[in-house]
Amino acid sequence: MNNPCVIGVDFGSDSVRAILVDATNGQELASRVSYYPRWKMGLYCNPAINQFRQHPLDFLESIEEVIKGCLSDVSAEIAHKVVGISVDTTGSTPVAVNRQGTPLALTEEFAENPNAMFVLWKDHTSIKEASEINQHAKKYKIDYLKYVGGVYSSEWFWAKMLHVLRADEKVQRAAYTWVEHCDWIPFALTGGNDVTLLKRGVCAAGHKGLWAEEFNGYPPNEFFSALDPLLKDQVQRLGTLTYTSDQAVGTLSPEWAAKLGLSTSVVVGVGAFDCHMGAVGGEIEPYYLSKIIGTSTCDILVAPDKLDYTLKGICGQVNGSVIPNMVGLEAGQSAFGDAYAWFKNILMWPLQNIYEMEESKLQEIESTLLSKLNEKASAILPDVKHTLSVDWLNGRRTPFANQNLKASLLDLNLGTDTVLLYRAIVESTCFGARKIVECFVNQGIPVKGIIAMGGIPKKSHFIMQMMADTLNMPIKVHKSDQTCALGAAMFAAVAAEVYTNVEEAMKNMGQGFEQTYYPNEDVVPIYQKRYERYLEAGEVLENNLYDVQ
């Protein structure tokens, strides 16, 4: 076929994006975004207890909308050239399913039960369970946490499963097994109706589920049943096989082909997490740290050779999780853009709740507030004595996951104004990024450079320049607005056999870089001193916390 086309689908926290791409050159032919309707209304969530759940109908309705939207924007001739679809999702975002692989929330009994829905990555209701897993793992001679950095997080698969099983007896009885979002979507698109046949990707299984080649699968059943009898036999229902994302799950089912207006010969690839496919879309190179920067960050690095040791404090070390035949290393920050959104919401509260203002005016202020703050903050030179912040508004992901940690602001005085507070918050997220770089470098993994992707790198010169200054490293910003979806499209092209491997797809479909930020040598020493204070403040906070659970 001349100029075969592929579709990459990126499920984010708030919306799903799809792009239709010419697989021969990576040209974006159409794109669509759909915001999850139930999520947008705040249904099934309770931020006060860090509960964030998503209804599977949001995913099904939105993926249909964006793919059909893309196809409606091109000619029928182009639509007929679609040969593959691949998806990425947030993670770990698992859901309880029945024997057929249907999420319980899609059944009448559980249609409005948050525990029967997808547990979003940033849901931290399972902090207690994660702590128990970490303590339990110390009892074993085999270190079952060695490939997830030595610390299991409340953001991950087993902690979330155990929390829901404990909290909801009805879900406990009805659930046959649990499935990650990135594995369930391909299963659904291919008409899967037997969960024992579901293909689980090595990305989710290795980085969040404790699957490892060394263990010939997951830790044994005894490990989980001794942790809690509710987990007895759960691991056996996951199987032992995993798949890299260059492989196919199957082809579109007749039902989905009819819904989307595509052929049943369209190949559906194995799913993965957004940051892993995003790193590929951003043209990752060995030992370059790819930062997908949004509400949180996910930092990906690939090493071309298998490592003979495991890294501590990161979020996973998995062969083939990013590029087959390379080691995928993952880290990240639990709050990045979310930290700025939190500050914006505080500033907006009086306008929204005290003063009567027209909705259009409120929206105008809200949409421009952060850009105005960036403009004001960029005019201020850093000073060692300025207000300092520690960036743990949503806990800490890397290094050494700890969702109990809380953020702080230090050195406030009567001269501290809104812009200095904002500047301190931005600086703290950049310092958090530096901690991740040092986590790799201090353990023998070189970081040759930074590749930045996502909305913030493309929109905020101030934030990216500060990051280059604090890291004292150049940062390349990728040209694509949709690197995660583009990465998914690259994997779709390989799964559909347009290309023989991922590297070939990246070479032909990559869109290149639009800008490079270089450190400002005049301010690097100032940020170095402030970074040292940041480290000291973080150590004091971490060592003097009290448990409020």
Domain boundaries, the chain: 5-282+482-509, 337-479+519-543
Give me the phi and psi of 198, to 5 degrees please. Answer: -65, 135
The Cα–Cα gap between 63 and 384 comes to: 48
| φ, ψ dihedrals at 168, nearest 5° | -140, 100
pLDDT given at position 326: 97
Q: 343 Cβ partners below 8 Å, 6+ apart?
A: 421, 422, 425
Coil/strand/helix, residue 28: strand
| pLDDT tens per residue across span 324-346 | 999 999 999 999 999 999 999 99
Question: At 213, phi and psi to the nearest 5?
Answer: -60, -40
Q: How many CB atoms lie within 10 A of CB 74?
A: 15
Residue 197's pLDDT is what?
97
Instruction: Find the Cα–Cα–Cα–Cα dihedral 442, 446, 450, 452, rounded to 10°.
Output: -80
Closest CA to 207 of 232, 242, 173: 242
- Picking from 262, 266, 244, the residue whose alpha carbon sits closest to that of residue 491 is 244
3-state secondary structure of 180: strand
Q: Looking at the domain 337-479+519-543, which fold is it?
A: Nucleotidyltransferase; domain 5 (3.30.420)
- Give the torsion sign (CA, 427, 433, 437, 438): positive
The pLDDT value recorded for residue 2 is 86
pLDDT value of position 548: 47
Task: Please state, in angstroms and rounded to a whole number, the distance separating the CA atoms of residues 150 and 312.
Answer: 6
Q: Minimal CA–CA distance to 409: which of 397, 398, 421, 396? A: 421
Helices (H) and strands (E) in the chain, counts: 19, 20
Q: What is the CATH number of domain 5-282+482-509?
A: 3.30.420.40
Going through 42-139 in order, the beta strands assigned E by DSSP cover 53-54, 82-89, 94-97, 118-119
Tokens matching residue 256:
């989905």
Q: E strand or H helix at 526, and its extent?
A: helix 524-543
Q: Are the C-beta atoms of 95 and 117 separated by less than 8 Å?
A: yes
Taking alpha carbons only, the member of 24, 113, 116, 30 closest to residue 73 is 30
At 547 the pLDDT is 52
Q: Taking the CB of residue 305, how many other CB atoms lie within 10 A of it?
A: 9
Whole-Å CA distances, 75 to 130, 266, 412, 473: 50, 17, 59, 45
Could you tell me the sign of the dihedral formed by the alpha carbons of 65, 68, 73, 78, in that order?
positive
Within 13 Å and on the Cβ side, how many CA atoms surround 44?
25
Q: Could you say which residues of the chain have pLDDT below 50? A: 548-549
* List of residues 6+ apart from 539 with CB closer than 8 A: none
- How far is residue 86 from each of residues 17, 82, 543, measured CA to CA in Å? 12, 12, 44
pLDDT at 549: 46
Q: Please report the sign of the dihedral spanned by the C-alpha atoms of residue 411, residue 412, residue 417, residue 422.
A: positive
Q: Which are the contacts of 361, defined by CB distance < 8 A and separation ≥ 6? A: none
The per-residue pLDDT for 314 is 95
Are both 5-282+482-509 and 337-479+519-543 of the same fold?
yes
Q: Which residue in 155, 128, 444 sits closest to 298, CA to CA?
A: 155
Q: How far apart are CA 353 and CA 337, in angstroms?
A: 23
Query: In DSSP terms, which residues pair with 98 in a beta bridge?
Result: none
Q: What is the pTM of this model?
A: 0.91
Instruction: Count CB atoms within 10 A of the CB of residue 149.
Output: 26
CA distances to 250, 252, 499 from 198, rounded to whole Å, are: 11, 14, 25
